[in-house]
Amino acid sequence: MRKEKNTKLEEVKEEVKVEKTDTKKKRKYKNIIIIIVAIVLLYCFLPSITIFTALFFGIDNTKFIENNNSIIVDNGKVTISNINAYYDNETKEYIVYGYISNVKKDYTIDIEYNLYDSNNYVIGTAFCNLEMKKGENYKFKAIYYDNDASEVVNYKLKDINLY
């Protein structure tokens, strides 16, 4: 009789162990599902949160500000000024150029300008990439050298990136 009780007790203990293991596995999968759902929701609502904070808390996510023929990049880390453009008859290139100053540390900068024809259609992009050193001043040239470069009548800043 004692043997039967011990055997039954052992069986019950085994069943409890199996149930605990199953419960742990279920919790593990449940936690993984909760994490995945949280990540998906965060991904979906992050743009809304960013816009909300910008509107209600005055946080400005603008990377650059254009003002009177100059551009302030990332809150003054770099300043671009005296921006002009011309078509070079010899090289058949349209060139947008200007001066970069106020370099706070070493950067690589990419500058892109959309180029427009007389009908205000974008016909291309002038691009420039510079390796800049802290405290140095630079002249940049964003160049467009396609066949229709002579048709460009206007330009507008498309993007600036600092690395």
Residue-wise pLDDT for 102-129, tens only, equals 788 888 899 999 999 999 999 999 999 9
Name the amino acid, one letter, at 147: N
| Same-domain check for residues 81 and 147 | yes
Q: Which is it for strands 107-116 and 70-73: parallel, antiparallel or unpaired?
A: unpaired
* pTM for this prediction: 0.60
SS3 102: coil
Distance CA 132, CA 111 (A): 13
Position 44 pLDDT exceeds 70: no
For the chain, how many structural domains are there in total? 2
Structural domain harbouring 131: 64-162
| Same-domain check for residues 23 and 70 | no
| Bigger pLDDT: 146 vs 39 | 146
Backbone Cα Rg of the chain: 31
| Same-domain check for residues 23 and 1 | yes
Which residue reads 């936690």 in tokens? 31
Name the amino acid, one letter, at 69: N
Token digits of residue 4: 């039967």
| Same-domain check for residues 78 and 139 | yes
